[in-house]
Amino acid sequence: MPPRKTGHAKAQSFPAPNHDHAACATDALARAERLCRARGVRFTEIRRCVLKAIWQSHAPIGAYDILAGLNAKGARHAPMVVYRALEFLQANGFVHRVASQNAFIGCAHPDEGHDSQFLICRKCGTVAEIANAAVSTALANAAPGFAVESRTVEISGVCPHCKDHSHA
Ligand SMILES: [Zn+2]
Ligand SMILES: [Zn+2]
Ligand SMILES: [Zn+2]
């Protein structure tokens, strides 16, 4: 068995609480725009608005909260409109659904297919995505004969930033 990887990837994958998040969101929207153009699909206004709402933070947000947020700004979207936009964003890899939270987070690397492992901080709600191929391989090897269809893993715990604060 290969040695267990510790710390490194995890610590880096959690965005620091005071990082320039506006830059994260701007980058994500620009990336989506670029990929949509390359794929010949339309990045409509509602798709952009929903993606922007999801990139408000690194904590997952549910469909109803997205809808409420958009409609609070004067829009009058029906839930179905938001659901369809979410389906599109998921299908294109721009967002992932975090099943245990029934909510969505933005993906920072939608240009490449990957299995996701989500580290979910139960204190601040931040979710970090690691896409570690070794984890996927280990899972596949651990389930011989089982036709794996989803390799998404959700792990709850306390992020490095919350952990540092708790004994301050
Ligand atoms: Zn950010
Ligand atoms: Zn991803
Ligand atoms: Zn945290």
Query: What is 17-166's CATH number, 3.30.499.10, 1.10.10.10, 1.10.3090.10, 3.20.20.70?
Result: 1.10.10.10
Q: What is the whole-number distance in angstroms between the Cα of residue 161 and the centre of ligand 3?
A: 6
Question: Does residue 9 surpass a pLDDT of 70?
Answer: no
Question: H/E element holding 103?
Answer: strand 103-106
Structural domain boundaries in the chain: 17-166
In the chain, what percentage of residues exceed pLDDT 90? 68
CA of 59 to the centre of ligand 3 (A): 10
What is this structure's pTM?
A: 0.87
% of the chain surpassing 70 pLDDT? 91
The DSSP element (H or E) to which 95 belongs, if any, is strand 95-98
69 Cα–ligand 3 center, Å? 23
Predicted local confidence at residue 167, as pLDDT = 59
The predicted structure's pLDDT at residue 108: 93
Note whether 85 and 43 are within 8 A (CB).
no
Report residues near ion ligand 1: CB below 5 Å.
15, 21, 24
Helices (H), the chain: 8-13, 21-39, 45-54, 63-72, 79-91, 133-142, 160-166
pLDDT tens, position by position, 90-149 = 999 999 999 999 999 999 999 988 889 999 999 999 999 998 889 888 888 888 888 888
